[in-house]
Structure 1
Amino acid sequence: MSTATATAPKGLETGAPRRSLASKIVDRLGSGAVQVVMVLLGVFWLVPTLGLLVVSMRTSEVNNAEGWWTIFTKPAELTIQSYAGLLSSGFTTSFWNTVLITVPTTVLVIGIAAMAAYAFTFIEFPGRDAAFLVVVALLIVPIQIALIPVATLYGNTGIFGSIPGVVLFHVAFGLPFAIFLLRNFFVGIPSSLLEAARMDGAPEWKIFVSVVFPLGKPAIASLGIFQFLWVWNDMLIALVFANTDNQPMTKYLQSQMRQFGSNVDILSSGAFLSLIIPLILFFSFQRYFVQGMMAGSVK
């Protein structure tokens, strides 16, 4: 006597749904062993920063004679003479020039890109898709081809060498990526939320400020970190468009390298001071940064 075994048709198997590769990776990253490995890797990558700090707090004679790791047996070699000499020079002015360039650039890029991304995502207007394709095409335009034309334009308008000229250049070349990033994030926001707000009589600017902008915090924080770091560490635009009075830290340190030559203690102290602000920014917004990077990876 035979028994018939019932089999489910192919594609109709019951049970838990198959999980995506991204979901499996996220779960694995949450395990204890992987977290320990990630912490060790983080400590390993911080070793050069520790070495930079030690070199910046020793004299050039000591740095030339022995490695920075000997500080663990000779802590008396530490000194703040390099920082005192650096802060009494033109470094302080270049630091504030960097702030005056980076902060307005980041704010303008985020504000303009967020409004443009909102329009490209939620507002119907003629030529919207074509305009967005133009924005995407601008991502591949290299900065170098615009240096001479923009320098000529700045010379004719009288803003060459000024901080506003540097800010405008960074804003212009930072907008394509910013619009592309935020638009792709805003697409995931349910349009029903906006329709409900419109039915309540809310204008578009109110919907943008009260609904879309708060929901887009992860992507906006990620964009802010990227833009801040790009401008803060930029040297090419500073070398071309900033004069000596308006030079940021990168250009100032480059000039000190030319002036002092092998004075590693001066350069290392300046490099470490220029590193502090980006580190504070990243660790302050790392929660939003991780959310922005992982957005859309798990369905």
Structure 2
Amino acid sequence: MTTNPAPPQAFGAATTGEAGGGRAPELRAGIGRRADRARRRLSSPWASGIAIAIAVLWTVPTFGLLVTSFRPVQDIRANGWWNFFGAPRVTLDNYQQVLFEGDQPLAQYVLNSVVVTIPAVVIPISIALLAAYAFAWIEFKGRNILFVAVFALQIIPIQITMIPLLTQYVRWDLAGSFWAVWLSHSIFALPLAIFLLHNFMKDIPPSLVEAARVDGAGHVQIFFRVLMPLLVPAVAAFAIFQFLWVWNDLLVSLVFGSQRQVSPLTVRLATLAGDRGETWHLLSSGAFVAMLVPVVVFLALQRYFVRGLLAGSVKG
């Protein structure tokens, strides 16, 4: 006598019923309680005072850069930005000139930075999610040794890998292309991404995965329907770190993407900074343009970032 396989709705019921859904809200509630405790600790007068002092020290140079970017070039060369309030004069010529004028307009490099950053974030996260799932939930020979080896790759300085990687890219005819930059950033990010996402996956209650397996779910269904909804904060947290790293990177861009057609924003800013101060008005405007995108991304994903930092410390 044979038994009929579980109906399609059984898998959904198991992942949202007592075995699955009963633990998922519990996990989220634990994260919420952890966040409330952290919020109470950080709301003390001493913590607030230290936070305000750090915010002021961090904001004053940024505010000075913003003011300088709107001042006429004659005023910038004549005195400091704090003199702006005595006789304020505002102009948009600095932004117009640095973004759209000259033989190297900054707008082209901003577009290059977007083209470089998005795949350099998506590629390592996609690979790391699959690798982290295998290390966390699939039994295979040598799993622990291989995971320790991946973790140990984090201690290798990226500087010593530059020449071997560049030599290999030349052999593959990838030097000077976006692929060289994408692959380099992905390679450097994978060890940390796998380690962090693996730790988050191990914190997920095993009952969720076991219930899905009982109902006949395979690895693909377990990964996308059970684990991925719970991993959104962790993925968002690492995506922010990786985005900021790639967007602000100069070393990898100079080595693997120094050609103008693939050079990101940081390469052009380094060129402006090397003009012996003659283009200080353009450098201030270009630097503030470079700051806008990371600030917008961080503010848009801030709630996921905080949840991702707290989720790893909560046990199911």
What band does the TM-score fall into relative to the shorter chain? 0.7 to 0.9
Partner in structure 1 of residue 77 of structure 2: 64
Is the radius of gyration larger for structure 1 or structure 2?
1
Number of equivalenced pairs? 278
Task: Find the aligned partners of 1:195 and 1:127 in 2 and give their Cα distance.
Answer: 23
Shift in Å, 1:99: 0.6
What is the TM-score normalised by the length of structure 2?
0.82
Partner in structure 1 of residue 12 of structure 2: none
Task: Find the aligned partners of 1:135 and 1:172 in 2 and give their Cα distance.
Answer: 11
Where 1:160 maps in the other structure, the secondary structure is coil
Residues 5-36 of structure 1: CA deviation (Å, up to 9, x unaligned):
xxxxxxxxxxxxxxxxx997653213477446
What is the TM-score normalised by the length of structure 1?
0.86
Residue number among 234, 241, 246 corresponding to 1:226 in the alignment: 241
* Residue pair 2:199, 2:312 contacting (<8 A) in 1 also: no
Task: Find the aligned partners of 2:197 and 2:37 in 1 and give their Cα distance.
Answer: 26
Task: Find the aligned partners of 2:256 and 2:136 in 1 and give their Cα distance.
Answer: 35
Shift in Å, 1:44: 3.9
> Does 1:45 find its partner at 2:61?
no
Of stretches 38-47 and 96-105 in structure 1, the one that deviates more from structure 2 is 38-47
Partner in structure 2 of residue 290 of structure 1: 306
Residue number among 79, 98, 106 corresponding to 2:91 in the alignment: 79
Shift in Å, 1:37: 5.2
> Does 1:114 find its partner at 2:126?
no
Partner in structure 1 of residue 230 of structure 2: 215
Could you tell me which runs of 5 or more consecutive residues in structure 2 were left unpaired when the two chains were aligned.
Answer: 1-34
Task: Find the aligned partners of 2:224 and 2:267 in 1 and give their Cα distance.
Answer: 38
Task: Find the aligned partners of 1:26 and 1:53 in 2 and give their Cα distance.
Answer: 32
Relative to 1, partners in 2 of residues 1:24 and 1:211: Cα closer, same or farther, differing over 3 Å? closer
* Residue pair 2:121, 2:239 contacting (<8 A) in 1 also: yes
Question: Once superposed, what is the RMSD of the aligned Cα atoms?
Answer: 2.2
* Residue pair 1:23, 1:297 contacting (<8 A) in 2 also: no
* Residue pair 2:203, 2:314 contacting (<8 A) in 1 also: no
Residue number among 85, 88, 92 corresponding to 2:100 in the alignment: 88
Task: Find the aligned partners of 2:186 and 2:173 in 1 and give their Cα distance.
Answer: 19
The sequence identity of aligned pairs, in percent, is 45
Residue number among 137, 140, 143 corresponding to 2:158 in the alignment: 143
Shift in Å, 1:262: 2.9
Residue number among 140, 164, 167 corresponding to 2:182 in the alignment: 167
